[in-house]
Chain A
Amino acid sequence: MTGREVPAELESFAAEVGPDGPVAVVGGRTHWEVGGRCSEDTRLVRAPAGIRDFDPADMTIRVGAGTSVEELDAVLAEVGQRANLPLVSGATVGGVLAVGRDDVHAMGRGRLRDALLEAVYVAEDGRLVKVGGPTVKNVSGFDLCRLLVGSLGTLGLVGEVVLRTWPRPAFQQWLAGRCDPAELRRRLFWPSSILWDGQTAWVHLEGYESDVESEAELARSLGCTPVDGPPPLPAHRVPAGALEAEGFQDSYLVQFGTGTAYVSEPGPVFDPDPAVAALHHRLKSEFDPRNRLNPGRDPLVAL
């Protein structure tokens, strides 16, 4: 059995979580009530912060889960790179991964769930568990990393992660107009974002200068004009399919390519397929039989 060297910060994080009592990991509190509130008697802990290991030439970075996404972004920007995490002001890396919301550019840059290569978490019995691996490609064992993204810390409290990084393109441009978002998607090659509120479509282009210019020209021919940026995302998330089915009267913003829409008032909670709900229940029983990790929060109602 491998005897892994564990950084002191992770050891103390594990010791702080300990083996007993309700405990929740707190990040930047930017989405603290998504999926429910933690019960009153829950002890709060913070994951270690800081860049642990970064060789820009590998295009992977190891960071404490308590690191702010803004700090991570600044470090990566210095070498012309970025990670596919949403740049939520005040949020932590562990926090955005636990909440699982995609960045607004996920359609072109990649989904948040694919950003995580390795994670070390404290399990419900207080032991440190590593899942995944530090390389950009890895199928050694089951893919627990995917399961942690969006799990709201209910399966384990993440202390450290390895993320894949990507080159940061030199040119970018937002455009918007009363045009058909499906047409934009059909005609543009690789927009990083298309948003639609039912009337106006926003599109983001990035890459090499001549390509951004030619794609922007195409977008203009479809009715878009340059704008400073996207509209703010409304606070609550709903599946894009549900939006169509429910005929929302409320204002909404659909994020193409992610199956997600955002609405300003919480949408109805949908009953999941009983077999899907049963799998959630069994996963929780396997990973946290005493319901001590982030008690009160439930990924199934995390909208």
Chain B
Amino acid sequence: MGFSRADPLVKDLRRVLSSDRVRAAPLERSIMGRDASIFEGGQAGPVCFPISTEEVQGCVDAARRHGRAVVPRGAGTGLAGGAVPLEEPVVVVTTKMNRLLSVDADRRMAWVQPGMINLDLSRATAPYGLHFAPDPSSQQVCSLGGNVGTNAGGPHCLAHGVTSAHVLAVEVVLMSGEAVVLGDPDGWTPGLDLRGAYVGSEGMMGVTTAIAVRLTPDPPAVQTLLLAFDSVDAAAQTVSAVIADGIVPSAIEMMDKNIIWAVENFVGAGFPLDAAAVVIVEVDGLPGGVAEEADRVAELAVERGGSVRRAADDEERALLWKGRKSAFGAIAQIKPNYYLHDTVVPRTRLAEVMNQVYEIVEEHNLQVMNVFHAGDGNLHPLLLYDRREPGVMDRVHAAGSAIIEASLAVGGVLSGEHGIGIEKRDFMPLMFTEADLDAQGRLRRAFDPNEMANPGKVLPTGASCADVNALDKVPEGVWG
């Protein structure tokens, strides 16, 4: 369906926003039909770029009057299809609401608009010696509103927790058009933790219009170690051993041989090309603890046959992290497409599940690279493929399903940080019973009784045994 200037919904929206900020041309709608996931074929209705809470309210009111759903969208870097619009909803893009509203260094908090880029916040608060702890690999481009929507993680969430632990309050426009503040910028307000229920709701409870974030003091001391192993098993066992030893580093990241080669060629971070796996461990805090923990991590690695390199200075540390965070870009050298998975397993089962992932991928005649948050047990197998190869998507999806099942079989979960979106919606019954899913639906309806905020995501519709793996239930054409 097309949206002309004369379309009554577009006309209504243009009464709220200046006309250049309501886009309805086919090209613009088609761009907003996708996010960073593999899903294609989303259908956006009019695309709005509000600059204030009042304008967001106006967009939501107009959508409601015309019986249209609303899909909130940040930078569009989500990997689970959470921002892919289904059935031509009004798409509310918050990228123009990208200001830092205030910083209170003494209270260690800031108010930001949802379109602010994650890394820009830490850059802006650096003069105060403070930063925003969640650091997704996409932090140079992803928005804080999107981080709230997915309850995003990142390498440094191991010690300090994911986004939810760093959000004090959110201002939200509900689908009724009301703006409401959930939580309290000081950290507590009487009543249910509505803030906590909202963070991670994947745009299905309202549109985030401002966020009170908790800021973390920069550590006085940091040590970053690069551990290299000649087997993935030894690397995974070292990760488990560090955790079991009672050390909670600020980050433990693991990369396997394939990704080491790709990254080294791309960035030149000095990763050893003869290693089967490397583990980056960062410990931070006060100098005494940092020194003791770094020594202990090194000991545990050497006991398991690993070699240890310590970053000598900030420059070397930055290079190691550049290597880690450039991993996804590096893959383009090998295959044009990749499908990044995201499951979590208990940390004691890492080695076992990694081996299963390799077996699954081989069975399906695919290539895999692993670069992931090992300290959390958060796996990120990247399945590489060339979509022009006939039938390859069937194999990619089959391998993906098998990886999910292997993770759940050892007591793991569907997603650690990317969210459910469209991608894992129909896998939810593998982890939750009908009663469990009913409770989630109730939470959603308490916020959005008519289910007009980002419909069709997270919760399977009419979930039953027959729906398991019924990925074709996702609207036609959405799976690429």
Contacts and interface: CB of A to CB of B under 8 A. Distances in A.
A286 B436 contact: no
Interface in A114-171: 114, 123, 127-131, 133-147, 149-151, 155-156, 166-168
B286 A144 contact: no
A233 interface: no
B377 interface: yes
Contact of B246 (A80, A114, A141): A80
Contacts of A166: 248
Given A135-B412, A182-B106, A147 B443 contact: yes
Contacts of A215: 286
A240 interface: yes
A275 interface: yes
Contacts of A81: 246
Nearest to B191: A300
B4 interface: no
A150 B192 contact: yes
Interface stretch (A21-29, A185-193, A196-204): A185-193
A139 B244 CA distance: 24
A133 B431 contact: yes
A20 interface: no
Contacts of A136: 344, 347, 376-377
29 contacts: A1-B434, A2-B430, A2-B433, A57-B348, A58-B347, A59-B243, A114-B165, A123-B435, A133-B412, A135-B412, A137-B373, A138-B415, A139-B416, A141-B432, A145-B196, A146-B195, A189-B285, A190-B285, A190-B286, A208-B286, A209-B288, A215-B286, A239-B189, A259-B168, A276-B194, A279-B194, A279-B447, A280-B191, A300-B190
B151 A139 contact: yes
Nearest to A146: B196
Given A58-B346, A123-B435, A207-B286, A139 B192 contact: no
Contact of B200 (A142, A189, A214, A285): A142
A296 interface: no
Nearest to B184: A259
Contacts of B432: 2, 130, 140-141
Most buried by B among A60, A190, A260: A190
A57 B196 CA distance: 28
A80 B248 CA distance: 13
A142 B458 contact: yes
Interface of B: 106, 108, 150-151, 153, 157, 161-162, 164-165, 168, 174, 178-182, 184, 186-197, 199-201, 204, 217, 219-220, 240, 243-244, 246-248, 285-289, 292, 344-348, 373, 376-378, 411-420, 424, 428-440, 442-447, 449, 458-459, 463-465, 468
Interface residues of A, number: 83
Interface in A244-266: 257-260
Contacts of B285: 189-190, 207, 211
Contacts of B420: 139-141
Contacts of A226: none
A208 B283 CA distance: 13
Contacts of A258: 187-188
A208 B288 contact: yes
A55 interface: yes
Contacts of A224: none
Contacts of B108: 185, 257
Contact of B346 (A113, A135, A259): A135
B445 A146 contact: no
B180 A276 contact: yes
A110 B151 contact: no
Contacts of A234: none
Contacts of A259: 168, 184, 186-189
A124 B83 CA distance: 33
Interface in A262-294: 270, 272-273, 275-276, 279-280, 282-283, 285-287
Given A143-B196, A239-B190, 6 more contacts: A142-B201, A143-B201, A189-B219, A215-B286, A279-B182, A301-B190
B377 A137 contact: yes
Given A143-B200, A167-B247, A258-B188, A60 B180 contact: no
A221 interface: no
A89 interface: no
A283 B430 contact: no
A81 B248 CA distance: 12
A279 to B, nearest CB: 6
A302 interface: yes
A237 B289 CA distance: 35
